[in-house]
Structures are given as C-alpha cells and as structure tokens.
Amino acid sequence: MKIYVTFRLLSRVFLGAFLFGFSAIASAQTGHDENRYRDCMDLAARSPDKAINNALVWKNEGGGVPARHCEAVGLFHMQEYEEAAARMELIATDMRTGKGMPVRGGKRLVASSSMMADMYGQAAKAWLKAGEIIRAEGAIDQALGLVTKESPQALDLLIDRARIAAADDDYQLALTDLETVKRLDSGRKDILVLIASAARGIGNYSKALAALDTFQEVYPENTAGHLERANLMDVQGFSTLARKSWLKVLALTEFGPDADAARANLERTDVNKDR
C-alpha cells in the first residue's frame, strides 16, 4: 500500500497549524473579556482539557460566542473533530443574528461576513479532520459565499477547498483552485508543493516536477517537499530516487507524519524487493 500524504500535511507545515486565535472575535470585545478570550484560546492549543473547563465556567457566566468558540477549539485539539465542527457551524449561525455576541456601546454586535466565513472555514477544517468530506465541502462553500471574491481571505479559503477536494480524490478541482491562488498571489510559493501533489494526482508529472523544483529552491530543507518528491518519483517507477528522498525526510526529522509516511514507504519497498 502506497502512503502518499504530502497534500493533507501542508496546512501543518505552512498554513498556520490551524491557528484558531481569530482577532476578529477578540477585537469585538474590550478589556477583561478580550484578555480572557485570548488566554483561553492560547490554553486550548497547549492544554485543551483545561481550556474546555475554563470555557464552560465562562459560558455559565454569560461568555457567549467567545466562550463557546474557545470550547470548540479545545474539543478540536482533543481530537473531537466532529463535535468541534458541529459547534463551530452552530456558532457561525448564531453570529449571523448576534446571538451570544459581545455587547459594545449598549448594543449586541452582529458578526461581519468575514467573521462568519472564518468560523465556517474552521468548521470545514474540523470536518475534514473528522473524515466528513461532504460536510467539509458544505462548510467551505458557505465560507466562500461570504467573502469578497479574490480577497486574501477568499484565497486562503480556496486553499482549504483544494485540500478538501484532494481528500475526496478530486485532484483536478484541487489543482484549479490552487492555480487560481497562484495566479492572483504569485508570492504564495508555499502552495507549490500542493500544486505538485495535485498535478501528480491527475498524472501531470511534468507540471508536478516543475512546481516541486521551484518549491524546493525556496524551501530546500522542508520535509513535505522531499516527501512529495519521493512520491512523485515512486509513482513513475524511479524507485532509487524515491528511496533517496524518503531517506532525506528521515534525515531531517525522525518524528511526525512526514517521517511516518517516509518510513512506511521505505518498509513497503523493502518488502517488495525481498519478494
């Protein structure tokens, strides 16, 4: 069994590792509540069980959307992806009407389209981690429908949609979205490894290699790049070159998903060689 995982790993390497500290919500608050939100979000990444407990207390004190958001992020980091996603979608719905939103100047705030898109985008990521592709597609489409076309936020969401499409083996859609981002923001060299992976998925190996060569010029020590090069060489039958790149991944890191994939593929090729 071939283990090709570069595409789903890029978010971890370059796209923020699911940075859930959304300034839009924090900026809608003042003083103590803003600090409490930021502290809770920081804790959610480091100690999600404690963050969830803090968020529950805050909810009971009327913390509303910020407290619920922190709780959902804590659930995400506890790998309760499905529950986190469902809660994020519900939060996005409530944000639209202002339910549970902070009060400023005596008036309850209603979320902007950008804020709601952020929340739907987070839900899409969580649904993807839960393996719920159809629900991830629904959430990301909701997000894209709320943002200005070709805005920086829209481009980030297109990258997310490309990742979801790739998880559904729709590499053509993934490639189309990624090339749209590249056309509109030529500085996004980080997505070239995704373009390489998507191009490999549709069998366009020359496009994949060109994108990967440029990516590795910019990020020569990035493990995702070496893993994708191994994948690209392997699918074309260049086993020696593939092995060299898998070994390079392990030389750069012994732990994590990239290392696990490289190790598994080396074991697979060794077993096949011995048959």
CATH number of the domain enclosing 5: 1.25.40.10
Residues 207, 212, 217, 222, Cα dihedral to 10°: 170
Please report whether residue 224 resides in a domain: no
Q: Do the domain assignments include residue 157?
A: yes
Within a domain: 50: yes
pLDDT tens profile 235-273: 999 999 999 999 999 999 999 999 999 999 999 887 666
| Cβ atoms of residues 57 and 36 within 8 Å | no
125: closest CA among 136, 138, 109, 114? 136
**What global pTM score does this model have?**
0.86
Residue 51's pLDDT is what? 96
Number of domains in the chain: 1
Q: What angle do CA 242, 247, 251 make, to 5 degrees?
A: 150
The answer to whether residue 62 sits within a structural domain is yes
**C-alpha angle 4-236-160 in degrees, rounded to nearest 5:** 35
Q: Considering the domain boundaries, does residue 192 fall inside one?
A: no
> Tell me, what's the pLDDT at 272?
67
Indicate the pLDDT class of residue 108, thresholds 50, 70 and 90.
confident
Q: 13 by DSSP, 3-state: which? A: helix
**C-alpha dist (Å) from residue 57 to 51, 61, 70, 269:** 10, 6, 11, 53
Q: What is the arithmetic mean of pLDDT over 188-211?
A: 97
pLDDT at 12 over 80: no
Structural domain includes residue 148: yes
Q: Is residue 22 part of a domain?
A: yes
Domain that holds residue 62: 1-168
Average pLDDT over residues 212-228: 97
Asked, for residue 2, whether it belongs to a domain, the answer is yes
- Predicted pLDDT of residue 1: 43
CB 202 within 8 A of CB 171: yes
How far, in Å, CA of 165 to CA of 69, rounded? Answer: 26
Counting every residue written for the chain, the total comes to: 275
